[in-house]
């Protein structure tokens, strides 16, 4: 669902932007990387109502390699948080604000 929304949003609003995923040789991966002229986002999606410290590991690793990227963790919870430079938001909130 998140991929579909991101693809539609990119096609409609940011056609020069691309959607990728990121994975290290060690197997650490980020679900989505939105990259274009004015956008650089790393997005991790968790099907959980609560965020655990381990849920932020991939985004922290990504941030070490790409500190200029905005990092988001989307989840089924209700709180909007900021931890270690990572924006944590309910998935629905994030998707509705893309418009």
Domain count, the chain: 1
Comparing CA positions, the residue from 49, 58, 26, 13 lying closest to residue 72 is 58
**CATH code for the domain in which residue 51 is found:** 3.40.1350
Quote the CA–CA distance of 68 and 70 in Å, as a whole number.
7
Quote the CA–CA distance of 29 and 19 in Å, as a whole number.
14
Give the pLDDT confidence of 35-59 residue by residue, as tens digits. Answer: 999 999 999 999 999 999 999 999 9
Structural domain for 38, as ranges:
2-97
Query: Is 99 a residue whose pLDDT tops 80?
Result: no
pLDDT confidence bin for 21, thresholds 50/70/90:
very high
pLDDT of residue 2: 96
The phi-psi region of residue 77 (left if phi > 0; otherwise alpha if psi is between -120 and 50; otherwise beta) is beta
């Amino acid at each position: 669902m998140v991929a579909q929304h991101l693809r539609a949003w990119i096609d409609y609003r940011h056609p020069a932007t691309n959607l990728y995923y990121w994975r290290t040789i060690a197997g650490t991966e980020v679900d989505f990387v939105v990259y274009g002229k004015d956008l650089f986002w790393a997005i991790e999606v968790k099907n959980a109502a609560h965020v655990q410290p381990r849920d932020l590991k991939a985004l922290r690793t990504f941030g070490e390699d790409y500190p200029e990227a905005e990092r988001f963790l989307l989840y089924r919870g209700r709180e909007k948080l900021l931890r270690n430079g990572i924006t944590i938001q309910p998935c629905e909130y994030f998707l509705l604000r893309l418009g």
